Amino acid sequence: MRRELGLIFIGTLLLIMAIIPCSATKVAISGGFYSHNYVLPQGESIKGEDMYVVIFNKMDRPVLVNVTYEAPEFIKINLSSTGYYLNPNEYRKVYVELKADEDAVPGNYTVKVIAIVYETEGDLPVKVVASAAQEADVTVTGEKAFVEVVAVDPVGNIAEVALIKLFKENYEIASAYGKLEKRVTPGNYTAVAYLLNEEAARKSFTLKPDEHKRIELLIKAVYFEVFDVLPARDQEGRLGYAQVIAVVKNLYMELPNTTIVLHVTGNTNETIEIYKTPKLLLERTEAKYNYIPEGGWKDGKYIFQAKVISNGVVYAISPKKELEVSVAKPIEKAISGVVIAIALLLILAVLLILLLFRRRKREKILEEIYGNLKRSLETSRECVGDVKEMNEGLKKFV
């Protein structure tokens, strides 16, 4: 009876608010609650960081906000806050949890989260000035499955400090530290473990009706944030040493008796302890080491890799880094460079000589052609002279 009266009261308030639109009073509701289609098994609940509404007060005066909901009687909605004051330009986020009764009727339903805004005098509400709502689709089903998700460290222990979140498709439905047990509907899920707000493990899986499944998330408790090998050379280019730089990030817990061990293979086979501490603290630890091979540098490839070890357990392995080494002396390199330069100069000289020879040959041919033309011209002149003389002779004879 009380619930029915409450619904009648809410309906009356909503009817009153229909006269005054929210845009006119500058009170609005937003958030991610409306953007998902939620699936609830009978007797179970879901909640997550994406399931919330935000109420804004853009008015020029303080208001009182009362948050309530509308849903079928077998679907309960728990709100992180149901009433509060908002000053001008303030907003408040309210998280939403959905729960279906054991005897909930399977089917598709719509639920609403409603914000009713009151004008106040002092601390007392005097009249309703606006209302706003968000609604979402909810499916209640009788099919169930069971999942157990545990976060496991490299030793095999449950990582109690790891936050596990369970997602159905694209929204979060549950969370717990170290171990999460949940009755859910059949479907596709993703479990994610976090350490210090960083993702440390992830696994996707599918649950069938009535299936029981255990999911282990092997957390990345410690990892190499930086691992690099930098060759250090003198002014003449000779390799002196290789500086190994390692930055280790610990997200899990303080690790006792921790060492960073460097393995170098390729032209050599060495294992060197480059860092040691009785307790590896949380967050970052930096280690530097100047490496020189025991037998000196040789031509070829050196491969570097490091490990973080605590009480004999390997917590992290770095990527591999390679270093190509050539130990030829600078004077030998200089001599070989000079020989190459001389050879190039000789080739250029031969090409120039060939070009000059071809040019001289062309000039000689041109001189011969010119001489022939000159002689032909002189002969022609002589012939013309002879013709003139013959012509003069003929004139005298006539």
Q: What is the dihedral of CA 152, 156, 157, 160, to 10 degrees?
A: -10
Q: How confident is the model at residue 276 (pLDDT cuts 50, 70, 90)?
A: very high
pLDDT reading at 60 higher than 60: yes
Q: How confident is the model at residue 398 (pLDDT cuts 50, 70, 90)?
A: very low
Question: What is residue 180's predicted lDDT score, i.e. its pLDDT?
Answer: 97
Pairing of strands 124-141, 91-100: unpaired
User: Which superfamily is assigned to 2-139 in CATH?
Assistant: Immunoglobulins (2.60.40.10)
Using only C-alpha atoms, the chain has a radius of gyration, in whole angstroms, of: 45
For residues 252 and 153, the answer to whether their CB atoms sit within 8 Å is yes
More confident residue, 240 or 394: 240
Q: How confident is the model at residue 303 (pLDDT cuts 50, 70, 90)?
A: very high
- Report the mean per-residue pLDDT for the chain: 85
Question: What is residue 370's predicted lDDT score, i.e. its pLDDT?
Answer: 61
Report the percent of the chain where pLDDT is more than 90.
63
More confident residue, 249 or 343: 249
Question: What is residue 236's predicted lDDT score, i.e. its pLDDT?
Answer: 86
Close Cβ partners of 156 (under 8 Å, ≥ 6 residues apart): none
Question: What does each C-alpha distance from 183 to 149, 159, 276, 284 come to in angstroms?
Answer: 12, 22, 46, 39
Class of 222-327 in CATH: mainly beta
- Arithmetic mean of pLDDT, 118-129: 82
CATH classification code of 145-218:
2.60.40.1120
More confident residue, 195 or 338: 195
Common-topology check for domains 2-139 and 145-218 = yes
Q: pLDDT digit string (tens) for 232-253?
A: 999 888 999 999 999 999 999 9
- Arithmetic mean of pLDDT, 60-64: 88
Domain spans of the chain, in order of start: 2-139, 145-218, 222-327, 339-398
Q: How confident is the model at residue 375 (pLDDT cuts 50, 70, 90)?
A: low
Amino acid sitting at position 31? G
- Arithmetic mean of pLDDT, 258-267: 96
